[in-house]
Structure 1
């Protein structure tokens, strides 16, 4: 599974390009820990094996805490609201309570390459 293009790296996750109303699928099997609105943003949190927790916002979902999901199951649809710009969904991932870059979970990450910055003197 490859995520849509990342539009911005932000604290606690990434904002991914997504059309409002688009279906969002579970990245891995788990149990819904929270489904509801926090301030003005609908979100869904899933607890996965190994101390991993994923959160999606804004996401409208019919799931309830305690519901189980399998990888690829529909978990909701991209909504509007919150801090994510329109046309994006924010994905946050924590492992043992610490935020990690979610893009590391979607396959190989390209190595950074430093390019020369200046003309020779």
Structure 2
């Protein structure tokens, strides 16, 4: 559904990433943060990583996990993601492990050499 909406926005001559950025910058996008983070991760650029980094500390595990995926997709700091291997939510830890699957040296540095 997001892909269709993004296509329609582009067809209308607008940038879906700009819409996501604006919505995420609004005071607490309660209830929509997960979808907004996912959307920006799908169509944003490396410059959007700074917008997404605060969502790595969001109270909702679903939002944190989506932020991990979005930051990875946009080329954000992998060491910041690796620091979340000890997150109390399994959904976040799974997202971190998937994001760092091809980066074993980063994982070893955060787990005492045990790997993922």
Same fold? TM cut 0.5: no
Larger Rg belongs to: 1
TM-score, normalised to structure 1, is 0.23
TM-score, normalised to structure 2, is 0.24
Q: Which has the higher contact order (CA 8 A, sep 6+)?
A: 1
Which structure shows the higher helix fraction?
2
